[in-house]
Structure 1
Amino acid sequence: MSTALHATKPLKIGRHLVDPAVVLAPMAGITNVAFRQLCREFGSPTSLYVCEMITARAIVERDSKTMQMITFGEDERPRSMQLYGVDPKSMAEATRIIVGEDRADHIDMNFGCPVPKVTRKGGGAALPYKRQLFRQIVRAAVRAAEPAGVPVTVKFRIGIDDDHLTYLDAGRIAEDEGAQAVALHARTAAQRYSGQADWSAIARLKEAVTSVPVLGNGDIFSARDALDMVAKTGCDGVVVGRGCLGRPWLFGELQAAFRGEPIPEGPRLGQVASILRRHGALLADFLGEDKGLRDLRKHMAWYLKGFPVGAELRRSLAMVSTLAELDDLVGRLDPTLEFPDNADEPRGRQGSPGKVVLPEGWLDDPEDATVPVGADELHSGG
């Protein structure tokens, strides 16, 4: 077992004490109520576990799929919702609905998505380039949430590409407009999820934003990575995305590390099988058995990463359709196999860097506050 160097401080976001200072990043198709509950069972109930991205416009229109996506567990507190929007008016209206109907205890704003269908309409990681529009959107959410005492936080990337860096301005603007914390995914939109995150940018943001917590995101695949990020950047907490895919127990390891306790060793395959079965049961409860087990399929390769499991059994698990079938298949796994040494390697999507698709003339005037056309029509979940 390895030991943390020192305990880290809890995080204060509005009225919420986040202890340890760990946040589950919202991931499309992943961070539904079932996965969040699984992560909370291993980690601290007072960390933040953020639901999938929700589109402000879809809340205003009460889209049925979106309203199901904002389901939270009965004991899930604080309830963290990530909101996406490009129009200050719809952002304000959606926030008023959320806080007025007591649907969330914390709102995080998404300005980090690098997906072309989002950036081509001026949303996601493209939007902070438009400083005045960015300011108006953050202000709209903060003011709408303020009467209910619901804190708003803001997540963004380093910039569009190496020639158009936006993160320092975005951090200062968010701080000025009343955001209770900012989080930086230390990559540009052009990088997407490829290459290495530039943690030095997190350190620079921490120097620029002084009155609210600064969280770091990017390339945290182990508890040791999280400790290294805090030590090297001075950030106040970490946001974990791809590193917990197929590894919800990472939140237990992070809790131990941040409290200065020995970091538990990774589970044997028998324990992984039990966790996988628990995940399937939670998804079946949330989505129904058929849909829930189909949703579980994409997690199989992540859970089994690095374990010597035969190709035929892997294929069968990736096509599982019932809980009874899942019970049979996980029963065939060798429970004595130790956690693999290479399991801390990157997981999830990586892809290649590429040119960011933007609306025509998007880079002409960073002070232009015109609302992008059509970007609010995107579906929740990314």
Structure 2
Amino acid sequence: MKLGNIDVPTPVVLSPMAGVTNWPFRVLCEQYGPSGLYVAEMITARALVARNPKALRLCRFDPSERVRSLQLYGVNPAIVEQAAKIVVDENMADHVDLNFGCPVPKVTRRGGGSALPWKTDLLQEIISRVVKVCSAANIPVTAKFRVGIDHEHETFLQAGHIAQEEGCAAVTLHARTTAEYYGGHSDWTRIAELKQELDIPVFGNGDIWGADDALAMIDQTGCDGVAIGRGCQGRPWLFADIKHAFEGSTQRINPTLGEVCAVIERHAELLTRFYDGDERMAVHDLRKHVAWYLKGFPVGGSTRKAFMECESLDDVRREIGRLDPNMVFPQRVVDKPRGRVRFAKKVHVPYGWLESRTTTHEERETLFGDDPMDAGY
């Protein structure tokens, strides 16, 4: 597949995940599947414009990354455009993705993420402005969105057409609504619907826990590629499995605990570089990953607790040394769900948001107010 001037030999994307897809995790994933596309976690446009230190840290890429892929989030078209201009002027990325799929209440209650496509004028203006800025530098722009706010307020078909008409190189559909959050099973039939509607490539996202799931999604929907989110948490080798599957091979990686621990140690070392040598911050960041890496292994609660109390690389290495490296990867958790599976209890959108598909002057004044929290993390 080609996205603008970027070749994606294996049509698989690491989907942006807040707090997960910083460059250390992306490097691990890309080492297993070097021909895919690995997207950085969401960057808040206002924070980038404000030169927020954390936002700038998240914009970093490792020299080994084949394609520097950055995702922007924002509600104010002018601010998102400014952020895109910074990306272009400072040569920060080779590819820009736009986030219209985040279901988290603190994002949707401000009209962002998966709430934004309901307002077609806002969606069109943001995409148009960013594409115009990026196209001048031959940087392809893509967009990710959900089926809609709920099944009474679906937006994905119209959002897909707007993205295509405004110049996006591809789109990704997470086949759930905002209301469904990460619960149940994503409805892949909606991916098939979108693929039938559009001429640009469509990536399918949702419930790909193993290589066979990726093949099934392609077969059932006709989509052009797959985007992997929670499925690779604690399983960066999933990208190798998918690469093999797409090549027609049945080869799969089933690592021993020792091999998994080698990845954990490598991840800790990369995070230490990410945090400029601060081992404490690195191993604290590692904690959630360790829980995913060890999921299914019968190592006991005391081992997991010990990892959660690590404060340095030596602490991590000490705990790794206490584990049985020959322990076989448990088949009962292979290709099974990981990470968040809960339903959202309520969808949070701005007051009166659903009354019209376009924004009023008053709504724009409220949405675009200079909220300092919008520039923070």
Equivalent of 2:201 in 198, 210, 213: 213
Quote the Cα distance in structure 1 between the aligned partners of 2:250 and 2:375.
39
The code of the aligned residue for 2:224 comes to D
The answer to whether residue 183 in structure 2 is matched with residue 194 in structure 1 is yes
Match of 1:26, as an amino acid?
P
Partner of 2:74: 85
Distance 1:38 1:380 in 2: 29
**Number of aligned residue pairs:** 370
Aligned equivalents of 1:21 and 1:217: distance in 2? 12
2: CA distance, partners of 1:369 / 1:103: 34
1:53 maps to which residue? 42
Match of 2:339 in 1: 348
Equivalent position amino acid for 1:227 in 2: L
Task: For structure 2, list consecutive stretches of 5 or more residues without a partner in the other structure.
Answer: none
- TM-superposed CA distance for 1:380, in Å, is 7.4
TM-score if structure 1 supplies the norm length?
Answer: 0.94
- Cα displacement string for residues 94-134 of structure 1 (whole angstroms, at most 9, x for unaligned residues): 11110111100000000001111111111111110011111
Select 2:168's aligned residue among 179, 196, 201: 179
Report 1:101-180 matches (<5 A): 101-180=90-169
Q: Find the aligned partners of 1:26 and 1:60 in 2 and give their Cα distance.
A: 20
Q: Which amino acid aligns with 2:180?
A: Q
The gaps in structure 1 that reach 5 residues or longer are: 1-10
Contact map agreement 1:183 1:214 (CA 8 A) in 2:
yes
- Residue 8 of structure 1 corresponds to none
Q: 1:31 deviation in Å?
A: 0.6
SS in 2 for 1:263: coil
SS of 1:334 mapped into structure 2: coil
SS of the residue corresponding to residue 102 of structure 2 reads coil
Identity %: 50
Match of 1:252 in 2: 240
**Corresponding position: 1:366 with 2:357:** yes
User: Partner residue of 1:4?
Assistant: none
CA–CA distance in structure 1, aligned partners of residues 160 and 314 of structure 2: 49
- By relative contact order (CA 8 Å, sep 6+), the higher-ranking structure is 1
More displaced stretch, 159-168 vs 260-269: 260-269
Give distance in 1, aligned partners of 2:374 and 2:288. Answer: 21
Give the SS at the match of 1:143: helix
Residue aligning to 2:327 = 337
What is the root-mean-square deviation in Å for CA atoms of aligned residues?
1.5
Using the size of structure 2 for normalisation, the TM-score is: 0.95
Evaluate the alpha carbon distance shift between residue 300 and residue 77 of structure 1 in structure 2; reply closer, same or farther with a 3 A threshold: same
Letter in 2 for 1:146: S
1:159 aligned partner, one-letter code: G
Matched residue, 2:265: 277
How far apart, CA to CA, are the structure 1 residues paired with 2:191 and 2:120? 20
Q: Which amino acid aligns with 1:298?
A: K
Q: Match for 2:13: what amino acid?
A: V
Distance in 1 between residues matched to 2:370 and 2:113, nearest whole Å: 9
Query: What amino acid maps onto 1:155 in structure 2?
Result: K
CA distance in 1, matches of 2:376, 2:184: 24
Indicate the residue corresponding to 1:292 in structure 2: 282
Instruction: Deviation per CA, 1:229-254: give whole Å up to 9, x if none.
Output: 00100000111010011111111111
CA drift of 1:345 comes to 1.3
Would the aligned equivalents of 1:34 and 1:279 in 2 still touch at CA under 8 Å? yes
For residues 180-221 of structure 1, give each alpha carbon's deviation from its aligned partner in whole angstroms, at most 9, with x where no partner exists. Answer: 0000000000011011100000000000112x1000000011
Aligned CA distance change for structure 1 residues 341 and 138 (closer, same or farther; 3 Å): same
